[in-house]
Amino acid sequence: MQHVEAYIVRLDTSDEASIAQMAKELDGIPIDVLINNAGILEPGDYSTISKESFTRHFEINSVGPFLTTRALHPNLKLAAGASGTAVVASITSLLGSIDANLDGAFGPVKKVYYDNHKLPNGQMYSYRASKAALNMINANLSMDLKKDNIIAVVLQPGYVNTDLTHGHGVVQPEDSVAGMAKVISGLTLDDTSKFYDFQGPELPWTHREVIQLQSCCSFLKLPSRNQAAIPTTAEAMVSTTNYKLFTPLKLGENLELKNRIVFGPLSRGRANADRVPSENNEIYYEQRAGAGLIISEGTAVSEQGYGWYHAAACYTDAHVEGWKRVTERVHKKGGKIFMQMWHMGRQSHSSFNKKGEIVSASALRCESGHTRDANYNVSTFEMPRALETEEIAGVVDDYRKSAVLAKKAGFDGVELHGANGYLIDQFLQSATNKRTDKFGGSFENRARFLLELVEAVKSVFPSYRVGVRLSPNGGFGGMGSEDNFEMFTYTMEQLGKLNIGYVAVLDGDCSHLHYSNKSRVVTAFDAKMAFKGTIIANNNYTRDTAEGVVRSGAADLVGFGRLYITNPDLAERFKNDWPVEPMAGHEVYYNSALGGKFYNDYPAYRATDELDN
């Protein structure tokens, strides 16, 4: 099967200079297929929609694809001269063609979007108008390009199940990928100017970068359009030897990660009762040392911050000795490991500490879900006490002391757990921070606690060995604030100024962590633009969507959590294209009574396994 490579190019399509630079770099290179997938969507109702919104949507959704096509016309013409035809496919939307007579399988378009998905069409003035304009622009383009044997079509990928659909999509990305390959390979000049629906015999392919960079994206080799047989999605994938995911990455001066796969933090409740890592922990982390970087489970920095039954801690010498045995085993396997620094704040329970209290940014109880006490009994969340201004310096120093112990235990660095509704997150978000002192109110004040923590641990570890984990889209622990997009953008910008090693962001809708739906979704690309340093993307990635987000430049590493439970050698399975076991059920995650069962007894893959079956 003959293949051609498909390249992802990311640029601001509203900026003619960027388009011109791209065309300059591609000068003289034949392009068989150009896929214009530029798009933004910012819903706004009748009373609030602005002129700026219309202008921005038209610049990116309509004019951008036109300018890109015109700039690359010489490249398309070169390809058409060599192979007979070339294709320009612009990704559109049914929302821009609500009255179009489409050849789809659902019948009237309104049935799809009003009855089935109830999309807020009335709130999409600028988006719908820009997509309608794209359809008309393509009709004109098709006439100008046809004389050079260039086919111009618009494709609507279907309501693809990516981050933006929040779990309600009707088309899986893999299906759209296979479908578009089928359409493009069969196009002739007679098809120019056509609009292809996503259902029926002609199912279009989509790039899996719907609107902004999503966690669903991939690096593919498309089949030659002149081949009669079309490979399956799996057959169309490039060999993993070309994957950037398996290349080394250097953090700072001298911390080299052997690949870009991160074993993310998972609280599993397998430490000893004295909060010291157990032998089960040692085996567990050693088994997963094939990852480029391991980030430990959440590790309490103090008694005050502890609040998870049989979780590990790092605030005594005994804790250090336990963790030292873990890090030594990981290092002997060639791995690198950071300790995640954890203070649970209002999600803790008073029974875990001698003072019998829990603290937070403000005296606001977590109203959703439940917690467990020190005896593992289910309990409702308690009312926290707001930390006094003068107390906060002591909490900051607890982090510094814990970092000193982490370094003594042999950790390669530390990650501040600022996600999932724990103490740092409680300070960052307006929903949980109602303070009126220097730690509340403005973006600057709410970020102050985190930034002071970063400075404290930087006094122990070099800045490139310090990371921060954030979940701007998550609703876990009763979180979610209307200003999260702006607040976390500001926070990541400030973290970038501190030159820390990375920001790990739970990008996209984080549906497995209760997507809050309170603010615009923060993607890995948003994080990259704000932080401008190393980004670890996290959100149900597969091997190939991880490759896509890394190759696109939106992220540098990708975190995997639950897949690592059942696949201790996940990095090796990915690289060698070995079968990946499905995720374990929720019932095996936290139960300390299970000991090593469903924890460190999942086997590594053996090449003979398939023969045994």
pLDDT higher than threshold 50 for residue 234: no
285 is catalytic: no
Flag whether pLDDT at 247 surpasses 50: yes
Regarding predicted confidence, which is higher, 208 or 526?
A: 526
Q: What confidence tens digit (pLDDT) does each residue in 339-355 have? A: 999 999 999 999 999 99
Map 397-429 to HEC letters. Answer: HHHHHHHHHHHHCCCCEEEEEECCCCHHHHHHC
* Average pLDDT of the chain to the nearest whole number: 81
Pairing assessment for the beta strands 255-257 and 249-251 based on DSSP bridges: antiparallel
Q: What average pLDDT does the segment 57-80 reach?
A: 92
Judge whether residue 246 has pLDDT over 70. Answer: yes
Please report which confidence band the pLDDT of residue 232 belongs to, taking 50, 70 and 90 as the band edges. Answer: very low
How large is the average pLDDT for residues 447-472? 98
- Please report the pLDDT score of residue 210 as a whole number: 25
Name the range with the highest mean pLDDT among 10-14, 141-145, 434-438, 506-510: 434-438
Identify the pLDDT of residue 459: 98
* Domains of the chain from N-terminus onward: 3-207 (3.40.50.720), 259-573 (3.20.20.70)
Least confident of 121-130, 134-143, 266-275, 428-437: 121-130
The pLDDT score that the predictor gives to residue 161 is: 41
Contact 14, 60 (CB under 8 A): yes
Tens of pLDDT along 514-531?
655 677 788 888 899 999
From 103, 105, 96, select the one nearest 139 (Cα to Cα).
96
Q: Report, as an integer, the average pLDDT of 64-88.
A: 92
* Strands 221-223, 3-5: pairing kind: antiparallel
Average pLDDT over residues 441-461: 98
pTM of the model: 0.68
The pair of structure tokens assigned to 292 is: 């480029």
Q: Which range, 83-87, 149-153, 187-191, 418-422, has the best average confidence (pLDDT)?
A: 418-422
Q: How far apart are CA 424 and CA 420, in angstroms?
A: 9
Q: In whole angstroms, give the CA distance from residue 85 to residue 30.
A: 11
Contact 510, 473 (CB under 8 A): yes
**411: nearest Cα among 326, 353, 485, 472:** 326
Catalytically annotated residue among 422, 464, 515, 605: 422
Query: Cα separation of 525 and 322, whole Å?
Result: 38
